[in-house]
């Protein structure tokens, strides 16, 4: 939170790209930030979670970015129907129609709104979660990738005209690398990684589930906490899931089930690639959970990209390394190859 607040304090100068493995808490953090600064009058914050949005065409993008909000939908002010962008920009029905008819440039519409806000001394902030979902969409002329155009626009809004803060979150940092290659945007972004919880925090948490989770039915001893850490690491979501199951099952039973599930998941993922390329990539992660780009050959790039997209591996754009998305998946990989060897 402190790092994010620091970013917002300055003049808009770069895009902030928040990345990190599956379920590390990116969305939770963004919502927390949203809640905090929406109460302050200095910012106009616009949060768009693309996971909740159906996106297959340019029109879907226009709908998602310029849709009227529930509360002012259909409310007529004077003779013009008011709409808002991310619940912020007051757009009239005419502009929206022009956008849909592609007679109005959505980027110009946004820029005009940013300028209007800045004149009122209000700092616009845009947060887009699950940004990678825009991949595969094209501009109306079908030549340009929407995501690249949007990134170029955000560069203009941050680095060049300092009009608006832009925070983009995604667990897929591989795709963003592709965008940077295409549009030479790399130096215009700041990367922030949100990783799983630290060991110390997990031990403090699990050492007092009564206090942190209001659990009265059981407590966990050091051995059990070790076993949980050893199985899922600092993945809060998986820890919660274990704590819930502990009401019905023993920890060893739960841990065994998690590991079997992950082996099955890896087996399924590998099975879907008849060339055997996926197996070759994952085999490299048997002994280590992080590998630099030099461990691979260029032909493996597509498989690596797919692994990141499917949340098997994560990509860290800062260090240029690939890692397994979580400790439980490391068990899955180990288990998968041990079974292969045994067979
Ligand atoms: N700091 C935290 N402490 C405890 N639990 C947390 C914390 N951050 C997140 N969680 C929990 O972890 C789960 C995953 O969080 P969240 O959905 O925010 O992750 P994410 O990084 O956005 O995941 P994805 O990669 O799927 O988008 C949620 O159930 C959330 O309640
Ligand atoms: Mg998320």
* In a shared domain, residues 182 and 86: yes
How many angstroms separate the CA atoms of 328 and 233, rounded?
A: 8
User: Could you give the strand order of the β-sheet that contains 189-193, starting from the edge strand earlier in sequence?
Assistant: 43-49, 123-129, 165-170, 15-19, 189-193
* Ligand approaching nearest to the C-alpha of 173: 1
Asked whether residue 254 is assigned to any structural domain, the reply reads no
* In a shared domain, residues 277 and 180: no
Q: How many angstroms separate the alpha carbon of residue 299 from the centre of ligand 1?
A: 34
Cβ of 244 below 6 Å from ligand 1: no
* In a shared domain, residues 266 and 130: no
Residue 292's domain comprises 259-342
Nearest protein CA to atom 16 of ligand 1, as residue: 25
- Tokens representing 309 are 């997209």
* In a shared domain, residues 187 and 206: no
Nearest protein CA to atom 12 of ligand 1, as residue: 237
Cβ of 204 below 6 Å from ligand 1: no
* In a shared domain, residues 17 and 56: yes
Q: Residues with beta carbon < 5 A to ion ligand 2?
A: 26-27
* In a shared domain, residues 31 and 70: yes
| Spatial CB neighbours of 64, under 8 Å, sequence gap ≥ 6 | 48, 50, 53, 55
As a dihedral over the C-alpha atoms of residue 154, residue 156, residue 161, residue 162, rounded to 10 degrees, the angle is: 30
- Tokens representing 332 are 């899955």
Q: Which atom of ligand 1 is nearest to the CA of 21?
A: 25
Ordered per-residue pLDDT tens for the chain, 343 residues: 999 999 999 899 999 999 998 899 999 999 999 888 888 878 888 888 888 888 898 888 887 887 644 434 444 444 344 444 454 556 777 887 888 888 888 888 889 888 988 898 889 999 999 998 888 899 888 788 888 889 989 999 999 999 999 999 998 888 877 777 766 677 788 889 999 999 999 999 999 999 999 999 999 999 999 999 999 999 999 999 999 999 999 999 999 999 999 999 999 999 999 999 999 999 999 989 999 999 999 999 999 999 999 999 999 988 889 999 999 999 999 999 987 776 6
Nearest protein CA to atom 14 of ligand 1, as residue: 23
Q: The domain that contains 308 carries what CATH number?
A: 1.10.10.10
* In a shared domain, residues 237 and 223: yes
| Spatial CB neighbours of 342, under 8 Å, sequence gap ≥ 6 | none
SS3 31: helix
Asked whether residue 134 is assigned to any structural domain, the reply reads yes
Asked whether residue 188 is assigned to any structural domain, the reply reads yes
Asked whether residue 253 is assigned to any structural domain, the reply reads no
Asked whether residue 24 is assigned to any structural domain, the reply reads yes
Does pTM top 0.85 for this prediction?
yes
Q: How many angstroms separate the alpha carbon of residue 85 from the centre of ligand 2?
A: 21
Cα 86 to Cα 16, 58, 159, 195, 217, distances in angstroms: 19, 17, 22, 28, 44
SS3 192: strand
User: How many CA atoms, within 13 angstroms, populate the side-chain half-sphere of residue 80?
Assistant: 11
| Mutational pocket test of ligand 1: of 17, 19, 20, 28, the residue with most ligand atoms within 8 Å of the beta carbon | 28
How many angstroms separate the CA atoms of 170 and 48, rounded?
A: 12
Q: How many angstroms separate the alpha carbon of residue 238 from the centre of ligand 1?
A: 10
How many angstroms separate the CA atoms of 321 and 300, rounded?
A: 14
Q: Domain boundary at 150, 167, 193, which?
A: 193
Asked whether residue 335 is assigned to any structural domain, the reply reads yes
* In a shared domain, residues 178 and 128: yes
| Spatial CB neighbours of 119, under 8 Å, sequence gap ≥ 6 | none
Position 41 scores a pLDDT of: 78
Output phi, psi for 68, to 5 deg: -70, 145
Q: The domain that contains 138 carries what CATH number?
A: 3.40.50.300
Q: How many angstroms separate the alpha carbon of residue 37 from the centre of ligand 2?
A: 19
* Ligand approaching nearest to the C-alpha of 213: 1
How many angstroms separate the CA atoms of 322 and 303, rounded?
A: 12
Any long-range contacts for 272-276 (C-beta under 8 Å, 24+ apart)? 273/303
Q: How many domains does the chain have?
A: 3
* In a shared domain, residues 79 and 184: yes
Angle at 69 between CA 66 and CA 73, to 5 degrees: 105
As a dihedral over the C-alpha atoms of residue 137, residue 140, residue 146, residue 151, rounded to 10 degrees, the angle is: -170
| Spatial CB neighbours of 200, under 8 Å, sequence gap ≥ 6 | none
| Spatial CB neighbours of 250, under 8 Å, sequence gap ≥ 6 | none
Chain centroid to Cα 333, Å, comes to: 24
* In a shared domain, residues 161 and 19: yes
- Tokens representing 266 are 């890896």
* In a shared domain, residues 332 and 265: yes
Q: Domain boundary at 228, 248, 268, which?
A: 248
* In a shared domain, residues 90 and 207: no
Position 74 scores a pLDDT of: 42
Asked whether residue 176 is assigned to any structural domain, the reply reads yes
Q: How many angstroms separate the alpha carbon of residue 90 from the centre of ligand 1?
A: 32
Cβ of 23 below 6 Å from ligand 1: yes
Cβ of 235 below 6 Å from ligand 1: no
Chain centroid to Cα 281, Å, comes to: 24
Buried b / exposed e over 300-315, threshold 16 CB at 10 Å, is beebbbbbbeebbbbb
Asked whether residue 37 is assigned to any structural domain, the reply reads yes
Q: Domain boundary at 175, 193, 211, which?
A: 193
């Amino acid at each position: 939170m402190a790092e994010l607040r620091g970013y917002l304090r300055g003049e808009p100068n770069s895009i902030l790209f928040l990345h990190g493995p599956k379920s590390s808490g990116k969305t939770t953090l963004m919502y927390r930030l949203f809640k905090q600064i929406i109460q302050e009058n200095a910012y106009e914050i616009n949060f768009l979670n693309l996971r909740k949005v159906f996106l297959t065409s340019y029109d879907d993008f226009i709908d998602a970015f310029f849709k009227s909000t529930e509360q002012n939908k259909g409310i007529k002010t004077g003779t013009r129907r008011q709409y808002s962008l991310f619940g912020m920009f007051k757009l009239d029905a005419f502009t929206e129609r022009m956008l849909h008819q592609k007679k109005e440039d959505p980027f110009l519409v946004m820029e005009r709104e940013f300028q209007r806000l800045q004149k009122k001394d209000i700092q616009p902030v845009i947060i887009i979660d699950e940004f990678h979902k825009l991949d595969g969409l094209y501009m109306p002329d079908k030549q340009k990738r929407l995501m690249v155009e949007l990134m170029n626009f955000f560069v203009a809004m941050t680095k060049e005209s300092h009009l608006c803060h832009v925070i983009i979150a995604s667990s897929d940092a591989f795709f963003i690398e592709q965008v940077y290659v295409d549009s030479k945007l790399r130096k215009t972004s700041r990367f922030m990684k949100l990783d799983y919880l630290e060991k110390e925090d997990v031990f403090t948490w699990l050492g007092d589930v009564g206090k942190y989770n209001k659990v009265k039915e059981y407590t966990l001893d050091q051995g059990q906490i070790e076993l949980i850490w050893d199985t899922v690491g600092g993945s809060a979501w998986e820890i919660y899931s274990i704590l819930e199951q502990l009401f019905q099952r023993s920890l060893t039973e739960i841990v065994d089930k998690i590991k079997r599930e992950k082996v099955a998941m890896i087996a399924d993922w590998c099975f879907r690639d008849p060339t055997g390329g996926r197996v070759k990539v994952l085999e490299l992660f048997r002994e280590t959970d992080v590998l630099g780009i030099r461990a691979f050959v260029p032909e493996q790039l597509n498989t690596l990209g797919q692994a990141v997209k499917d949340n098997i591996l994560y990509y860290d754009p800062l260090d240029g390394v690939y890692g397994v998305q979580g400790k439980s998946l490391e068990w899955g990989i180990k288990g998968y190859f041990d079974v292969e060897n045994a067979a």
